[in-house]
């Protein structure tokens, strides 16, 4: 496994200015953001940036020699398109270093109007092979693709050998077990389109009810989980719910409560030629952002100092796993499907 | 308005599939989509079988389209896309890779066969449709969650030939993980083909017993049957040119007959829903079309016009 000359880029999440500063102060190369509306895929109440806040955030990044990316990665419907164009215009006007886009019309608009900007293909576009990536490169000149979490590290490496487009992969944090940009579970239950509105399992549909020591969690009236004493659940979404299978077994039929943590596989991921590592969690606190950024920074630096002797330190694993809200660490499909 | 039959989403045996399409050849359907959308590990049909089925259906007077995989994540799956591109049928793209592998522009060599944007391409709006039209795509099957208003808006402003998913368990999600294997404590890599035991998928109920999802290998479908059988007049009015029914293990002929009668104006919405309800084990849904939650059902027999 060769050591790559160019150091892997660390891309960290921020849902507000304090998180952005925490990421930069703790070793992020790049912070990724979104505007506080439906044009990004983490559209939660009280989260994300106004025009003025992004301006301040970009200034802070520039002063520290770091970069800011902005996601406009949802799927507009009907006559709401102007809002997505405005997000693109604002981000370019403020000098974001790259736009993270997913939707064909938005990609076309951004590329035609701004021939020189850096466009990254969002994970929401679910481009999981080099032919799809080449399609987006030919038509929109994408510089980078954020790979969907459906590839093993071996597949990432083979993909990377067949494209000049940079690749970015998720390293830490919450995990969509289903392919993003193509998941209608939340929409099926609530009627609010995750792809268009930018929020899965919006909080206005979630209810917690205490009944005789049990915690019943519903989404738009549909029971997602019934927790007994001592049981915990991460933020309730359909994929993290418990269901009854035909044989009567009650199970987390899609996934156990778990979060991605690739610290132990870091040399493999870097060795696969990946260009950037992304931390999930624009909806999380600045304490989370600061903690996981610092740990991944240390891990990356430690790897480059002496690749052969890299080892995931116990305190890194304990530190990251402690941020996972009761869910356990997983390698997702990075090792095997 | 055309009646179409979608690709078989479940894992049926080779014999069952050949029998099924033999039966389908005799049904009054205009267009039939064949091929594998869900999982590259299914082994029922070789590419030569798919070609033979397509040729048989064409001889029976059907228009035949071959559908691509929805998730293409390695060389093996890309090979499946390349192999369907060698067949003498138009291709329904369910992953963007198809547009890069098969020429879509009819003015260039190999581009005459026609490529269609399937339901798993995220064609949400007018600029997306126009982009696809610009590269030569002639027909779009809109994402299943679009409401009547959204579909109508897209057709009105682009003139695209539009098909909608109109009957069957509706696809809701795809994963790298095989949820059927997971139920047997296996990974996808160690898959033992348990999907074969569930010819209409494995229904999941909530912890208080409400059927909600269907596990089908690496995909998740609804448990109930999504149906727009009550909305045919409506669909015609907004300019939809084809309605798709999705294969189910039993009662396919009955479902097709109901839709044919609806399209020919020989059966009203209430009677159609009555018959279809008998063929839908876990009930009906169609909320998305009416700008509600997809799991809800709005029907003419309930006093609300579909």
User: For residue B306, what pLDDT is reported?
Assistant: 40
Give the separation between CA A94 and CA A101, rounded to whole angstroms.
17
Blockwise average pLDDT, block size 10, chain B, 306 residues = 98 97 98 97 93 98 98 96 94 97 75 87 98 95 98 98 98 97 95 96 98 98 98 97 98 98 97 96 96 94 58
Q: Which CATH architecture has domain A9-175+258-330?
A: Alpha-Beta Barrel (3.20)
Distances (CA, A) of A94 to A35, A59, A189, B206, B226: 12, 9, 38, 47, 45
Token output for B105 = 């522009």
Q: Which SS3 state, helix, strand or coil, does residue B58 take?
A: helix
> Are residues B116 and B65 in contact, defined by beta-carbon separation less than 8 angstroms?
yes
Distances (CA, A) of B174 to A314, B143, B225: 34, 14, 18
Give the separation between CA B137 and CA B304, rounded to whole angstroms.
36
B185 in contact with chain A, both atoms CB, cutoff 8 A: no
B13 in contact with chain A, both atoms CB, cutoff 8 A: no
B150 in contact with chain A, both atoms CB, cutoff 8 A: yes
The strand pairing partners of A258, in sequence order, are A328
Residue of A144, A134, A90 lying closest to A113 (CA atoms) = A90
Lowest pLDDT segment from A155-164, A217-226, A227-236: A227-236
> Are residues B135 and B107 in contact, defined by beta-carbon separation less than 8 angstroms?
no
Rounded to the nearest 10 degrees, the angle between the axes of helix A51-63 and helix A17-25 is 10
Q: What is the mean pLDDT of chain A?
A: 95
Whether A250 and B207 lie within 8 Å, measured CB to CB: yes
On chain A, the residues whose CB falls within 8 A of the CB of B200 are none
User: For residue A258, what pLDDT is reported?
Assistant: 85
Give the separation between CA A270 and CA A287, rounded to whole angstroms.
26
Whether A181 and B122 lie within 8 Å, measured CB to CB: yes
Length of chain A equals 337
Place of tokens 């293409």: B72
State the pLDDT confidence band at A2, using cuts at 50, 70 and 90. Answer: very low
Nearest to B204 among A139, A191, A245 (CB): A245
Whether A254 and B175 lie within 8 Å, measured CB to CB: yes
On chain B, the residues whose CB falls within 8 A of the CB of A158 are 74-75
b/e sequence A45-78, b meaning 16+ C-beta within 10 Å: eebbbeeebbeebbebbeeeebbbbbbbbbbbbb
Token output for B237 = 């009015």
Give the separation between CA B67 and CA B32, rounded to whole angstroms.
10
Listed by number, the residues of chain A in 43-82 with a beta carbon closer than 8 Å to a beta carbon of chain B are 75-79, 81
State the pLDDT confidence band at A265, using cuts at 50, 70 and 90. Answer: very high
- How are beta strands B242-245 and A276-279 bridged, if at all? unpaired
Give the separation between CA A183 and CA B15, rounded to whole angstroms.
32
Residue A285, classified by CB atoms within 10 Å of its CB into exposed (0-12), middle (13-18) or buried (19+), is: middle
Closest residue of B to A256, CA-based? B182
A242 in contact with chain B, both atoms CB, cutoff 8 A: yes
- Nearest C-alpha of chain A: how many angstroms from B48? 24
Task: Give the A:B interface size as CB pairs under 8 Å.
Answer: 207
User: For residue B108, what pLDDT is reported?
Assistant: 67
Nearest to A150 among B99, B176, B205 (CB): B176
A135 in contact with chain B, both atoms CB, cutoff 8 A: yes
Listed by number, the residues of chain B in 215-274 with a beta carbon closer than 8 Å to a beta carbon of chain A are 215, 220, 222
User: For residue B293, what pLDDT is reported?
Assistant: 98
**What is the CA A89 to chain-centroid distance, rounded?**
23
Token output for A38 = 């439906």
User: For residue B303, what pLDDT is reported?
Assistant: 60
Percent over 70 (pLDDT), chain A: 98
Cα A258-A263-A269 angle, rounded to 5 deg: 105
A127 in contact with chain B, both atoms CB, cutoff 8 A: yes
List of long-range contacts for B283-286, beta carbons under 8 Å, 24+ apart: B283/B211, B283/B224, B283/B225, B284/B224, B284/B225, B284/B226, B284/B227, B285/B170, B285/B222, B285/B224, B285/B225, B285/B226, B285/B227, B286/B226, B286/B227, B286/B228, B286/B230, B286/B231
User: For residue A327, what pLDDT is reported?
Assistant: 77
Token output for A24 = 């930069």
Give the separation between CA B105 and CA B114, rounded to whole angstroms.
8
Place of tokens 């299914």: B42
Token output for B239 = 């300019």
Q: Is the pLDDT of residue A3 over 60?
A: no
Whether B174 and A254 lie within 8 Å, measured CB to CB: no
On chain B, the residues whose CB falls within 8 A of the CB of A155 are 73-74
Closest residue of A to B289, CA-based? A191
User: For residue A5, what pLDDT is reported?
Assistant: 65
Give the separation between CA A101 and CA A168, rounded to whole angstroms.
14
Residue of A271, A315, A307, A267 lying closest to A291 (CA atoms) = A315
User: For residue B109, what pLDDT is reported?
Assistant: 64
User: For residue B114, what pLDDT is reported?
Assistant: 87
DSSP secondary structure code for residue B274 in this structure: H
Q: Is the pLDDT of residue A4 over 80?
A: no
Closest residue of B to A244, CA-based? B205
Identify the structural domains of chain B with CATH numbers, from first to last.
2-169+226-281 (3.20.20.70)
Domain map (residue ranges) of chain A = 9-175+258-330, 192-251
């Amino acid at each position: 496994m060769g050591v790559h000359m160019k150091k892997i880029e660390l891309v960290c999440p921020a849902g507000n200015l304090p998180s952005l500063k925490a990421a930069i102060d703790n070793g992020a190369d790049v912070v990724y953001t979104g505007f506080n509306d439906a044009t990004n895929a983490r559209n939660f109440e009280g989260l994300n940036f106004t025009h003025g806040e992004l301006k301040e955030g970009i200034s802070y990044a520039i002063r520290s020699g770091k970069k800011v990316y902005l996601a406009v990665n949802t799927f507009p419907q009907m006559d709401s398109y102007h809002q997505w164009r405005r997000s693109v215009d604002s981000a370019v006007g403020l000098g974001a270093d790259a736009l993270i886009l997913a939707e064909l019309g938005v990609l076309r608009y951004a590329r035609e109007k701004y021939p020189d900007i850096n466009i990254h293909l969002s994970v929401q576009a679910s481009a999981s092979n080099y032919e799809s990536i080449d399609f987006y490169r030919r038509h929109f000149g994408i510089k980078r693709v954020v790979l969907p979490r459906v590839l093993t590290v071996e597949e990432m490496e083979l993909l990377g050998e067949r494209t000049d487009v940079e690749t970015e992969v998720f390293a830490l944090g919450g995990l969509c077990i289903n392919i993003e940009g193509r998941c209608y579970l939340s929409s099926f239950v609530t009627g609010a389109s995750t792809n268009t509105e930018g929020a899965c399992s919006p909080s206005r549909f979630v209810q917690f009810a205490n009944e005789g020591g049990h915690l019943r969690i519903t989404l738009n009236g549909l029971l997602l989980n019934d927790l007994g004493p001592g049981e915990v659940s991460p933020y309730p979404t359909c994929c993290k719910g418990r269901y009854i299978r035909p044989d009567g077994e009650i199970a987390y039929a899609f996934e156990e409560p778990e979060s991605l943590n690739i610290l132990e596989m870091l040399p493999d991921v870097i060795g696969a030629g990946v260009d950037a590592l992304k931390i999930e969690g624009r909806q999380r606190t600045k304490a989370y952002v600061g903690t996981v950024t610092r740990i991944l920074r240390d891990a990356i630096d430690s790897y480059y100092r002496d690749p052969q002797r890299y080892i995931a330190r116990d305190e890194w694993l304990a530190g990251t796993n402690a941020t996972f809200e009761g869910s356990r660490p997983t390698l997702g499909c990075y090792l095997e499907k | 308005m055309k009646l179409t039959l979608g690709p078989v989403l479940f894992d049926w045996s080779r014999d069952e599939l050949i029998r099924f399409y033999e039966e389908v050849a005799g049904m009054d359907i205009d267009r039939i989509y064949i091929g594998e959308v869900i999982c590259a590990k299914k082994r029922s049909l070789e590419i030569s079988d798919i070609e033979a089925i397509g040729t048989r259906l064409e001889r029976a007077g059907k228009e035949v389209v071959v559908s691509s995989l929805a998730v293409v994540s390695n060389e093996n799956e890309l090979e499946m896309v390349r192999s369907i591109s060698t067949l003498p049928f138009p291709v329904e793209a369910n992953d963007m890779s198809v547009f890069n592998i098969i020429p879509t522009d009819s003015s260039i060599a190999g581009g005459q066969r026609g490529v269609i944007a399937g339901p798993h391409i995220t064609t949400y709006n007018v600029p997306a449709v126009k982009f696809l039209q610009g590269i030569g795509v002639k027909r779009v099957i809109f994402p299943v969650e679009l409401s009547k208003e959204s579909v109508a808006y897209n057709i009105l402003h682009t003139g695209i030939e539009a098909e909608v998913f109109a009957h069957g368990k509706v696809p809701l999600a795809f994963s790298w993980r095989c949820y059927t294997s997971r139920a047997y404590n296996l990974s996808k890599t160690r898959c033992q083909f348990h999907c074969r035991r569930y010819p209409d998928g494995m229904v999941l109920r909530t912890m208080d017993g409400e059927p909600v999802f269907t596990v089908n290998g690496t995909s998740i479908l609804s448990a109930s049957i999504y149906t727009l059988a009550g909305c045919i007049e409506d669909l015609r009015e907004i300019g939809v040119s084809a309605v798709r029914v999705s294969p189910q293990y039993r009662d396919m002929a009955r479902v097709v007959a109901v839709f044919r009668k609806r399209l020919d104006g020989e059966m009203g919405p209430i009677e159609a829903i009555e018959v279809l309800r008998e063929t839908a084990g876990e009930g009906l849904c169609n909320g998305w079309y009416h700008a509600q939650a997809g799991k809800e059902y709005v029907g003419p027999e309930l006093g609300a016009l579909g």
